[in-house]
């Protein structure tokens, strides 16, 4: 626990600016803070304080206030953590990725704004969709669910994908790139063709990879892939 700084700046997060969406984190934070404040420097209690610190840090968060509380708890310095994070820096990366997905995911209100600039909204939603699928690949096992139901982090990613697809589907595309995004989403909805989903080429929008296996795809998939190629050539 030598890396953990026990002191805390006076500008610590107070109950008045706590985001209640991170209830589990704040419970862990309160437990750690209580143990830390009661710690008299006895070596026997040191492990207990560190264990509470680790549980608090390993709790996934969604809000900026919770992020600030984590940083304050270690005086903005890197501290060691147990698996799977190992360090506070690694946990911060996961937390920031989760918060970025929440911040960037379009809301229902964005659908109305999309009417003003459909192509820009469609292309932004397409990039968000790709980033959201990539988030699944990099999501640590402790944030995944093995119960058959989505974990809170998995739900965030799926909500981002669904909202992005709403923008792509409902927007009126005028540019070749925006039309292509619509075609990629249509291609993804084809079922019964597992070759489409090999190596995530369809997620990346890797046209060349799909063209290379066109002989293993059905006619419907090939027709959309051909349309994407035509759109690219028109826009070139």
pLDDT, one tens digit per residue, over 204-232 is 899 999 999 999 999 999 999 999 999 99
CA-nearest of 203, 235, 236, 198 to 214 is: 198
Contacts by 81-84 with C-beta closer than 8 Å and gap 24+?
81/54, 81/57, 82/54, 82/58, 84/140, 84/141, 84/142
pLDDT computed for residue 53 by the predictor: 93
Instruction: Give the pLDDT confidence score for residue 65 in this predicted structure.
Output: 81
Cα gap 30→208, rounded to integer Å: 53
Q: Write out pLDDT tens, residues 75-99.
A: 878 889 888 888 888 888 888 777 7
End-to-end Cα spacing for the chain: 58
pLDDT level of residue 74 (50, 70, 90 thresholds)? confident
pLDDT at 108 over 70: no
Longest dimension (CA), the chain: 73
Instruction: Name the DSSP class of 151.
Output: -
Q: Which residues contact 234 (CB under 8 A, 6 or more apart)?
A: 176
User: Residue 212: its pLDDT value, please?
Assistant: 94
Q: What's the rounded Cα separation, in Å, for the pair 80 and 210? A: 44
The 8 Å CB, 24+ separation contacts for 32-35 are 32/56, 32/73
Which range is least confidently modeled, 123-127, 152-156, 220-224?
A: 152-156
Supply the pLDDT for residue 124: 85
* pLDDT grade for 178, boundaries at 50, 70 and 90: very high
User: Residue 180: pLDDT above 50?
Assistant: yes
> What's the pTM value of the predicted model, to 2 decimals?
0.55
Measured distance CA(170)–CA(173) in Å, rounded: 9
Q: Rounded to 5 degrees, what are φ and ψ at 60? A: -60, 140
Which pLDDT score, from 0 to 100, does residue 6 have? 36
* Predicted pLDDT of residue 1: 39
* Contacts (Cβ under 8 Å, ≥6 apart) of 151: 143, 144, 145
Measure the CA angle with vertex 199, ends 218 and 103; round to 5°: 110
């Amino acid at each position: 626990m030598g890396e953990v700084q026990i002191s805390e700046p006076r500008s610590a997060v107070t109950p008045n600016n706590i985001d209640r969406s991170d209830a589990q984190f704040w419970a862990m934070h309160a437990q750690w803070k209580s143990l830390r404040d009661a710690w008299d420097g006895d070596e026997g209690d040191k492990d207990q304080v560190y264990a509470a610190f680790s549980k608090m840090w390993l709790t996934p968060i969604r809000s900026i206030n919770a992020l600030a509380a984590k940083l304050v708890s270690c005086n903005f310095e890197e501290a060691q953590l147990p698996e799977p994070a190992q360090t506070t820096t690694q946990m911060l990366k996961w937390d920031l990725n989760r918060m970025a997905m929440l911040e960037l995911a379009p809301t229902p209100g964005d659908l109305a704004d999309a009417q003003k600039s459909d192509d820009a909204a469609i292309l932004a939603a397409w990039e968000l969709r790709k980033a959201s699928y990539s988030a699944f690949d990099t999501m640590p096992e402790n944030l995944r669910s093995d119960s058959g139901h989505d974990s809170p982090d998995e739900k965030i990613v799926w909500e981002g994908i669904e909202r992005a697809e709403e923008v792509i589907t409902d927007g009126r595309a005028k540019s070749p790139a925006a039309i292509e995004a619509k075609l990629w989403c249509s291609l993804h909805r084809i079922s019964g063709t597992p070759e489409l989903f090999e190596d995530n080429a369809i997620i990346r929008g890797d046209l060349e990879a799909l063209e290379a296996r066109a002989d293993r795809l059905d006619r419907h998939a090939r027709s959309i892939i051909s349309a994407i190629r035509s759109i690219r050539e028109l826009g070139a």
